[in-house]
Amino acid sequence: MKQVKKYNKLIRDKILEIIKNSGEKPYWRILTKKEYLSEIKKKILEEAKELILAEKKKDVVNEIDIQELIDVLMLELKLSKSEIIKQQEIKRRKRGGFKKKLFLIKTEKLIKR
C-alpha cells in the first residue's frame, strides 16, 4: 500500500533532495515562465496567510518568505529595486504610507432625494 501526499505547489530548490533523503519519491516538473509567475503569486498569498497566524517575533521572521518571493518576482519581471522604491514613493506621496496605524471602520454618505 502506498501513501500519497498531493501538493501541487511551488517548492524551494532543495526540497526534492530533502524528500528523497526522507525515503519518499517526489514527482515533479519544471514550470513554464507563465506558470512560474502565477505560482509565485499563489505562494506569496500562501505565505501571507501563514504570516497572519504568526504571533511571536521569531515566528514572523520564520514566515518572512514573502520578501524572497517578491525578490524572485522582481527578477523574473526584470524590475529593479529602484523602480519599486520609486513607485512606493509616488504612492506614498499620493495616498500616504501606513505609519499612522489608521484603521477604516466605515464611511457614510448622505443621499439627497
Q: Is residue 61 included in any domain, yes or no?
A: yes
Q: Is residue 85 included in any domain, yes or no?
A: no
Q: Is residue 38 included in any domain, yes or no?
A: yes
Q: Is residue 63 included in any domain, yes or no?
A: yes
pLDDT < 70 regions, the chain: none
Distance separating alpha carbons of residues 60 and 83, to the nearest angstrom: 27
For the stretch 28-60, pLDDT in tens is: 999 999 999 999 999 999 999 999 999 999 988
Q: Is residue 95 included in any domain, yes or no?
A: no
CA distances to 5, 24, 35, 66, 68 from 29, rounded to whole Å, are 16, 16, 11, 23, 21
Q: How many domains does the chain have?
A: 1
Q: Is residue 4 included in any domain, yes or no?
A: yes
* pLDDT at residue number 84: 93
* pLDDT at residue number 2: 84
Of 18, 66, 19, 79, the residue nearest 40 (C-alpha)? 66
Q: What is the extent of the structural domain holding 25? A: 1-80
Q: Is residue 111 included in any domain, yes or no?
A: no
Q: Is residue 70 included in any domain, yes or no?
A: yes
Amino acid identity, position 77: L
